[in-house]
């Protein structure tokens, strides 16, 4: 596991992604959580409770091998990705809420990610000799690496807001390019098994992505949130920080096989999020508006 991918590529990829997140954040984004406590509580409840439960059910249903099963649960435990904010902006979501959710969830994941992942390891690896626990101290180290670029990005945003705004698009593009390189690297690292892995996790990642996006919208709407808040919640829950999941799998768990679900998810989530956004804006939201007018 001491390849250039793990020692150089993944840390750089994660740093770029998190620096880009910092460029879009201010201290007020954390304070704004108190302005919409109900929306935040419902979205985080979906993200931290319903989503892992959904993922666990799918993993059991598809009867995945332990490494892939843990990889799916690691993916489910990862916070929303920075691209979720862009999708929310494009498809009539509450962007301010989305940014706040991404910020808060990235911090909460310090505690929830190792908890959910360790429970998955202990459940799916029935042979104690093959178990590798996700030590909390190691996760703290990872999130220290994660949060430093975020803090630097926020400092740049505070001191040079115009520069930060100009850099937002290039950093997003660079993040996407580096993420693509990481996905290719992960899959090449498991080249002998990649066909079997894609066959095993391709269907479950697509189904998980589609259900995550739908759950993230319909549950908040059923609990009284506005359409804009529900759209923000949907993309926050459906678009994951898969770079973080891959980093943890390869760097801490030392298993490229465990990183495969996050790599495959990265290939499908942007397409599914775009299609879901079009369905929302062209069908679901207009229909809701017409129903409201009719009443």
pLDDT in tens, 33-73: 778 889 999 999 999 999 999 999 999 999 999 999 999 99
Rg (CA), the chain: 18
Phi, psi (degrees; rounded to nearest 5) at 240:
-95, 160
Identify the CA nearest to 179 among candidates 134, 222, 243.
Answer: 243
Identify the CA nearest to 13 among candidates 179, 188, 258.
Answer: 179
Minimum mean pLDDT range among 4-18, 26-40, 89-103: 4-18
Let me know: does 59 contact 72? Beta carbons within 8 Å. Answer: yes
Let me know: does 256 contact 190? Beta carbons within 8 Å. Answer: yes
Angle of helix 95-124 relative to helix 10-23, nearest 10 degrees, comes to 150
Phi, psi (degrees; rounded to nearest 5) at 80:
-65, 150
Q: pLDDT tens, 235-261?
A: 999 998 888 888 888 888 888 889 889
Q: pLDDT tens, 145-168?
A: 777 888 888 898 889 888 888 887
Angle of helix 66-77 relative to helix 51-62, nearest 10 degrees, comes to 160
Minimum mean pLDDT range among 10-19, 96-105, 127-136, 168-177: 127-136
Identify the CA nearest to 93 among candidates 270, 281, 223, 238.
Answer: 281
Which residues are registered as beta bridge partners of 240?
Answer: 80
Q: Which band of pLDDT confidence, cut at 50, 70 and 90, is reported for residue 1?
A: very low
Q: Which band of pLDDT confidence, cut at 50, 70 and 90, is reported for residue 263?
A: confident
196/226: higher pLDDT: 226
CA dist 33 and 36 (Å) reads 6
> What is the SS3 assignment for 202?
helix
> What is the SS3 assignment for 80?
strand
Query: What CATH number is given for 4-294 in this structure?
Result: 1.20.1530.20
At 169 the pLDDT is 77
pTM here is 0.82
The residue to which tokens 């995945």 are assigned: 64
At 129 the pLDDT is 54
212 pLDDT above the threshold of 80? yes
* The token pair that represents 29 in the structure block: 């984004």
Let me know: does 270 contact 83? Beta carbons within 8 Å. Answer: yes
């Amino acid at each position: 596991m001491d390849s250039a991918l793990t020692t150089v590529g993944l840390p750089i990829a994660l740093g770029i992604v998190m620096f880009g997140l910092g460029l879009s954040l201010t201290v007020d984004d954390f304070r704004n959580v108190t302005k919409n406590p109900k929306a935040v509580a419902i979205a985080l409840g979906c993200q931290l409770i319903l989503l892992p439960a959904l993922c666990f059910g799918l993993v059991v249903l598809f009867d995945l091998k332990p490494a892939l099963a843990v990889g799916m649960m690691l993916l489910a435990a990862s916070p929303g990705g920075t691209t979720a904010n862009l999708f929310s902006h494009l498809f009539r979501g509450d962007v301010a809420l989305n940014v706040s959710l991404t910020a808060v969830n990235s911090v909460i994941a310090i505690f929830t990610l190792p908890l959910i992942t360790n429970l998955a390891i202990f459940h799916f690896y029935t042979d104690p000799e093959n178990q590798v626990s996700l030590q909390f101290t190691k996760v703290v180290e990872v999130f220290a690496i994660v949060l430093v670029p975020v803090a630097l990005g926020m400092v740049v945003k505070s001191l040079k807001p115009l520069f930060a705004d100009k850099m937002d698009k290039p950093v997003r593009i660079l993040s996407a390019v580096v993420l693509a390189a990481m996905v290719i690297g992960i899959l090449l690292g498991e080249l002998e098994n990649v066909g079997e892995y894609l066959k095993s996790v391709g269907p479950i990642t697509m189904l998980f992505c589609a259900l995550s996006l739908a759950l993230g919208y319909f549950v908040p709407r059923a609990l009284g949130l506005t359409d804009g808040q529900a759209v923000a919640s949907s993309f926050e829950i459906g678009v994951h920080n898969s770079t973080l999941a891959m980093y943890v799998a390869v760097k801490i768990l030392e298993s490229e096989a465990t990183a495969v679900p996050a790599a495959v998810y990265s290939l499908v989530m942007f397409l599914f999020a775009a299609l879901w956004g079009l369905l929302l804006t062209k069908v679901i939201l207009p229909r809701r508006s017409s129903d409201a007018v009719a009443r």
